Structure formats: C-alpha cells, structure tokens
C-alpha cells in the first residue's frame, strides 16, 4: 500500500467519525497549547528579569553594606551590633583601583515634596553626577546633578518625569524652587521617562546630591555603591579590588557584600530556566494524558471497526498493513492536534502579551519542538497496542462481527 493511500485511508476513517476525532484533537491540542503557553510564561519571566538587570547598566559591580554569612550567626548579631556603614570616603577610595572606571553612590529615603499647596511623598535618591552614566539614564530637560566635590551640599534637585507632571503640569519646572522635607531645592533638570527597572520607578524619584541627602535624612551611610568596571574583562578584578580596599578601610573586617551583575544575572537565568522547564514538564503530563485518551479511543475504534478489519484481511491486507493504517490514524491525529495546539498556544501567548505588555512572552523554540515531538511520540506509542490488537484479529470472527 502506498503512503499517500495509507494516509488518505486513515484520514477517511477519521472523518468517518467526526465527534471522536474532534475530541481527540482537542485533547492533544490542549496538551500542546498548555506546554507552549506555560513555557512562554516562564521564558517571559526569565527575559523580563534579565532585561531589568541589564537595564541597570553594564559591567556593574554592586557594593552593599553588611554581609550574609552562610556559616551561621555572627557575633555582631548576638550583641545587637549593626554592620559598619559604608561612607563617602569608602566610595571615593574605590576609585584608586585601575579596574574601576567610575562609581555612583546611592542613598535612599523618602520625604514630602511640596510646591505651593501641592504636596506628596516621594522617594529621594542621594547620588552623584556619575549615576547618569552608570545607570544609563537620560535627561529630559535641564542638567543632572553637578559633578564636583562629593561633599558639596548643593540645594539642587532633579525630578522624575511623572513628578514633574504632577507638580508643574505643562509649566516650566527648571529653575523653580520646591520644598523637600525642611529644605528648599532648586529644580535643575527633569529626567526623561524610562519606566520601571528593578522596582525603582525612576519617573517617580527625586534625585539630590548625596551630601544633601545625608543632611536631609541625618545619616552618613550609603545604601549602595554602583561600580562600573573599565570593561567586561575587568569585572572580576574590580570586584576583587573593591573587596580588598573596603577590607583594609574597615580594619580588616569583611563587612560588606560585593556582587557582580553577571553573577546575579546568571543565577536568575539558571533559576528561571529551571522553572520554565519544570512548568513545561508539568504541562507535558497533560500530553501523556492525551496519549492515554488516544489509546482508549483507538481501542474502541478497533472494536467498532471489527468488520472493516476483517474485510481488509479478506481483501488481502497483511497484518503489518493493518497496523500501519492504525498508526497512520494516530499520527494524523497527533499532528493535527499538535498544529491546532500550536495555533492555540501562540494565540494564548499573544493574548497574554497583549494583556501584560511588560512581559516579553514568547514560547522558547525547544519547548515548541518538545511539545510537538512528545505529542507525536505519545500518539503513536499509545496506538501500538490497539494497532496490534487490530492486526491480530481473526478474520473469520471479525467478518462475522462477533
């Protein structure tokens, strides 16, 4: 029997019982669609996090105060000692390393911002001029914090795009005076809109010089130091240098944590890829269920078509040919189901992408191939038994319909 004839014959018998066929295709396609959509979500989450991290800047090394020990509770914790804070001098000392191109210090707090009768709470970021380059931010109007002495407590501020809109509307903001906490600041610039990144919505932040922030919040420590290494190859050296410098300055105590952006990125990448695969694996269980369904329905089909099978035998079809016909039916079902599932899955992914535009939803290619492959293999595998059963039928009893 020719392949084209086999397929045509199988297709004919599938069309002969449309309800059965449609149900099986539905089961298969739901399985495939589940794998496609769930892995697309997992992949979307992975890309989202990685984009967020990448948008922080390039070749970043981050210094944060305190140190998480995996060896248990340190003595400092028991006597209520807080980790030594990172000072502006510490930050400046980092620039001695040749691997470090520039740094941006961060202090964070919240204060009420008011202009005449308008008033709101805002997140205040204390930083320096270099933050603009380290974080790859861009200005809308005016200029960013002045470069110069890190200890300069100039009363200038840069507004986020949204805050500017709320306070000033369409009026000119640069040059105006606003009140931040108990001090007056002159607006020297407005940031361009850049949306959210790593939980910070830069559109809703007011940036002031770090020394002014220390005065405003009455602190002297830094929340973070962002270090930009000279290049990709210098990241490890920059990390090492930062650790050494701070170790020396803190009297031989390792009380800061230095992480590289790549390490964090890599960790997230691994975790989220594993998550995507796990979710895909769970979804593929539904494919196995669909396979069992195909087997079940195939067995019923064999029972229903006993006479036809007997006839085919009488007309000279060898057992192998009868098996092939049933395999062809299973393969057709699985492939139609896969295609329908892919269409459904991609449509679902696009719908999610439409509903949550920030999530870059797209099914990974390996999941698509795996889903279709699993569908085909389970479909054919689970039809082995029914097909063998059909081929083994005794022609005489089959023709008698017993």
Partner 1 sequence: MIELQNVNRSFTVGDQKVLALRDINLRLGDGEYLSIMGPSGSGKSTMLNLLGLLDRPSTGDYLLDGGNVTELSDEQQARVRSEKIGFVFQSFHLVPRLSAEQNIELPMMLAGIPVDERKQRVAKLIDSYGLNDRADHRPDQLSGGQRQRVAIARATVMNPAVLLADEPTGNLDSTTGWEVLRLLEQLTERGITLVIVTHDAEIGARAQRQIHMLDGRIVSDEARSNATS
Minimum CB distance to partner 1 smaller for 209 or for 310: 310
Q: CB of residue 386 vs partner 1: minimum separation in angstroms? A: 19
Q: CB of residue 312 vs partner 1: minimum separation in angstroms? A: 7
Separation CA 338–CA 332 (nearest Å):
10
Minimum CB distance to partner 1 smaller for 265 or for 399: 399
Check residue 2 for interaction with partner 1 (CB under 8 A): yes
Minimum CB distance to partner 1 smaller for 10 or for 134: 10
Distances (CA, A) of 33 to 274, 340, 355: 20, 8, 18
DSSP 141-161: EE--SPPS-TT----EEEE-H
Check residue 7 for interaction with partner 1 (CB under 8 A): no
Q: CB of residue 393 vs partner 1: minimum separation in angstroms? A: 11
Minimum CB distance to partner 1 smaller for 255 or for 329: 329
The answer to whether the beta carbons of residues 31 and 286 sit under 8 Å apart is yes
Residues 6+ apart with CB under 8 A from 72: none
Minimum CB distance to partner 1 smaller for 77 or for 314: 314
Neighbours of 104 (CB within 10 A): 22
Check residue 1 for interaction with partner 1 (CB under 8 A): yes
Neighbours of 381 (CB within 10 A): 16
Burial class (CB in 10 A: 0-12, 13-18, 19+), 47: middle
Separation CA 246–CA 256 (nearest Å):
8
- What is the total count of residues that contact partner 1 (CB under 8 A)? 25
Check residue 399 for interaction with partner 1 (CB under 8 A): yes
* Site stretch for partner 1 (CB under 8 A), options 12-20, 47-55, 120-128, 261-269: 12-20
Separation CA 213–CA 183 (nearest Å):
11
Q: CB of residue 397 vs partner 1: minimum separation in angstroms? A: 10
Check residue 381 for interaction with partner 1 (CB under 8 A): no
Token digits of residue 318: 């060898």
Separation CA 110–CA 213 (nearest Å):
10
Q: Give Cα 204 distance to the centre of its chain.
A: 24
Check residue 254 for interaction with partner 1 (CB under 8 A): no
Check residue 15 for interaction with partner 1 (CB under 8 A): yes
Quote helix, strand, coil % in the chain, to nearest 5. Answer: 55, 20, 25
Choice from 7, 9, 74, 193 touching partner 1 (CB under 8 A):
9
Neighbours of 217 (CB within 10 A): 17
- For residue 126, the surrounding DSSP H or E stretch is strand 118-127
Minimum CB distance to partner 1 smaller for 181 or for 319: 319
Q: CB of residue 301 vs partner 1: minimum separation in angstroms? A: 13
Q: CB of residue 267 vs partner 1: minimum separation in angstroms? A: 59
Minimum CB distance to partner 1 smaller for 1 or for 300: 1
Check residue 395 for interaction with partner 1 (CB under 8 A): yes
The site map against partner 1 for 302-321 (x = CB under 8 A) is -----xx-xxxxxxxxxxxx
Choice from 139, 192, 369, 396 touching partner 1 (CB under 8 A):
396
Separation CA 202–CA 163 (nearest Å):
10
* Site stretch for partner 1 (CB under 8 A), options 2-10, 44-52, 235-243, 326-334: 2-10
Q: Give the CA angle between residues 6, 22, 309 to the nearest 5°.
A: 40
- DSSP designation for 122: E
Q: CB of residue 305 vs partner 1: minimum separation in angstroms? A: 9
- DSSP designation for 254: -
Q: CB of residue 329 vs partner 1: minimum separation in angstroms? A: 13
Check residue 329 for interaction with partner 1 (CB under 8 A): no
Check residue 12 for interaction with partner 1 (CB under 8 A): yes
- State the residues that interact with partner 1 by CB under 8 A: 1-2, 5, 9, 12-13, 15-16, 307-308, 310-321, 395-396, 399
């Amino acid at each position: 029997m020719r392949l084209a004839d086999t397929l045509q014959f199988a297709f004919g018998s599938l069309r002969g019982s449309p309800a059965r066929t449609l149900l099986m295709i539905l089961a298969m396609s739901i399985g495939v669609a589940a794998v496609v959509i769930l892995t697309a979500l997992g992949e979307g989450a992975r890309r989202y996090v990685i984009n967020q991290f990448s948008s922080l800047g390039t070749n970043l090394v981050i210094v944060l105060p305190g140190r998480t020990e995996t060896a248990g509770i340190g003595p400092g914790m028991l006597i209520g000692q807080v980790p030594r804070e990172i000072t502006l001098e510490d930050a400046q000392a980092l620039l001695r390393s040749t691997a470090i191109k520039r740094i941006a210090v961060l202090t964070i707090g919240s204060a009420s911002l008011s202009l005449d009768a308008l008033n709101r709470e805002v997140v205040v970021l204390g930083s320096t001029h270099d933050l603009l380059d380290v974080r790859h931010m861009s200005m809308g109007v005016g200029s960013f914090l002045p470069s110069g002495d890190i200890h300069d407590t100039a009363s200038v501020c840069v507004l986020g795009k949204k805050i500017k809109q709320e306070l000033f509307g369409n009026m000119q903001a640069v040059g105006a005076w606003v009140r931040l906490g108990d001090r007056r600041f002159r607006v020297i610039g407005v940031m361009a809109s850049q949306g959210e990144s790593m939980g910070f919505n830069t559109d809703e932040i007011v940036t002031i010089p770090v020394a002014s922030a220390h005065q405003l919040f009455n602190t002297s420590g830094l929340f973070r130091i962002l270090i930009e290494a000279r290049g990709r190859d210098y990241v490890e050296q920059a990390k090492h240098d930062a650790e050494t410098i701070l170790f020396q300055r803190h009297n031989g105590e390792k009380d800061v944590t230095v992480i590289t952006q790549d390490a964090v990125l890599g960790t997230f990448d691994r975790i989220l890829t594993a998550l995507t695969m796990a979710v895909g694996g769970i979804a593929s269980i539904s494919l196995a269920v669909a396979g069992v369904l195909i087997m079940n329905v195939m067995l019923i089909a064999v029972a229903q078509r006993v006479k036809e099978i007997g006839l085919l035998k009488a007309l000279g079809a060898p057992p192998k040919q009868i098996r092939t016909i049933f395999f062809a039916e299973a393969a057709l079902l699985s492939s139609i189901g896969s295609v329908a599932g892919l269409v459904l899955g991609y449509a679902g992914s696009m719908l999610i992408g439409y509903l949550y535009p920030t999530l870059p939803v797209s099914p990974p290619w390996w999941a698509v191939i795996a889903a279709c492959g699993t569908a085909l293999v389970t479909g054919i595998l689970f039809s082995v038994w029914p097909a063998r059963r059909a081929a083994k039928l005794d022609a005489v009893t089959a023709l008698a319909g017993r």
